[in-house]
Amino acid sequence: MKALPEIQSLHPYQPGKPISETKRELGLKHVYKLASNESPLGTSPMVRDAVIAAVDEINRYPDGACFEMRQAVAAYYGVPPQNLMFGNGSDEIVDILVQIYCDPAKDSILTSQGAFSAYQISAQSVRVRAQTTALTSDLRFDLKAMAALIEKDPSIRFVFLPNPNNPTGTYFTAEEFDAFMAVASRKDLFVVLDEAYVEFVRAKDFPRGQDYQKKYPNILLLRTMSKVFGLAALRIGVLIAPPEVCDMFNRVRKPFNINSLAQVAVVASLRDKEHLEKIKQVTWDGLDYYHAQLDKMGVKYWPSQANFVLFDCGRDAGEVFQELLREGVILRPVKPYGMPNYLRMSVGLQEENEAAIRALQKVLR
């Protein structure tokens, strides 16, 4: 039997190249992976202890309602527990939202070209049409073009806006978002702000989703435990949404979508304030270092509000990627985003950042 045409035309998500594979293929001893925007600090000791203590009970199903984790996350974000839902990574949340609210026969979703790819994949996999607007010349979302499309197209059920965006690291301002919401505040449309990297943002004019949610009931917020909280392997995404949306979500999600080790890890991670602050500081220092070094090298890049930076290799980034691999540095090509000459470089520990810059100096010379 043949798969549906919409599925056949999907391309498998290409994760960052694993360290072990690179070592094996190229016979390298040291490999630095700066390809997946992960926390470079390893596991928080408090998380390690909590996970080890919970290991003896993995014969039991997890708490499907995530009671303790829900209380901890609610307190951390300052929202009522009934406004929270969890997904096996925030990508599962996107899947479920599209499933709940989009009729493939007549509805569509809207996002930007160059935006994080998960939204288009989720839509296409359930045969919902995905529309995009072009990026501006400085690789930012064109919220005016999006608003214009929303005004004339009643089929749009979701607008997915990662802010800051991956892979560009760029963001839209509060002023731009105010103007956008004046048009997008509608009952038949959800605006999903994906704030996966919000903890790293330093820009003063950044629109904080939780402030906007108080004013606009059609804003849904996505957060993830994969970045600043350092729990990428455990797959935990958070949805902050009105209780009616959470109620529908709860009907569709699988009963045990958050495993028990993930649940205890989240509780411990939110308690380990010191580790969290350290990740932020390491990220900010690393980002400042990258920006300064790329400036010195005369490499064009887009100043980032996240934990990575996108830069222009000035030639085919696939080749540069291969040359960097031979230097033991794994970065991320972003050709699938329509950016064949750019590479994305995550912030690591200072030693890793320096290794990446040294390799780049050699390869881009």
Ligand X SMILES: Cc1ncc(COP(=O)(O)O)c(C=O)c1O
Please report, as ranges, the residues that interact with ligand X according to CB under 6 A: 37, 89-91, 116, 162, 166, 194, 196, 224, 226, 232, 237
Judged by CB, which is closer to ligand X: 91, or 327? 91
**3 state SS for 266-282:** HHHHHHCHHHHHHHHHH
Pick left, alpha or beta for residue 37 (phi over 0 → left; psi -120 to 50 → alpha; otherwise beta): left
Q: How far apart are CA 358 and CA 365, in angstroms?
A: 11
- Given a contact cutoff of 8 angstroms between Cβ atoms, the answer to whether 190 and 159 are in contact is yes
Strand, coil or helix: 13: coil
Judged by CB, which is closer to ligand X: 258, or 327? 258
Judged by CB, which is closer to ligand X: 267, or 327? 267
Judged by CB, which is closer to ligand X: 91, or 107? 91
Element (H, E) at 302: strand 301-302
Alpha helices in the chain (DSSP H): 5-8, 19-26, 45-55, 67-77, 90-101, 118-125, 143-152, 174-184, 209-215, 243-252, 260-271, 273-297, 317-326, 350-363
Q: How far is CA 94 from CA 35, 116, 145, 223, 328, in A?
A: 23, 12, 23, 11, 35
**In the complex, minimum distance from the CB of residue 95 to ligand X, in angstroms, rounded to a whole number:** 10
Would you tell me how many other CB atoms lie within 10 Å of the CB of residue 130?
A: 17
Judged by CB, which is closer to ligand X: 32, or 160? 160
**In the complex, minimum distance from the CB of residue 215 to ligand X, in angstroms, rounded to a whole number:** 23
**In the complex, minimum distance from the CB of residue 161 to ligand X, in angstroms, rounded to a whole number:** 10
Judged by CB, which is closer to ligand X: 221, or 356? 221
Would you tell me how many other CB atoms lie within 10 Å of the CB of residue 242?
A: 15
Task: For 167-196, give the DSSP string.
Answer: TT-----HHHHHHHHHHH--TT-EEEEE-T
**In the complex, minimum distance from the CB of residue 195 to ligand X, in angstroms, rounded to a whole number:** 8
**In the complex, minimum distance from the CB of residue 297 to ligand X, in angstroms, rounded to a whole number:** 26
Judged by CB, which is closer to ligand X: 119, or 301? 119
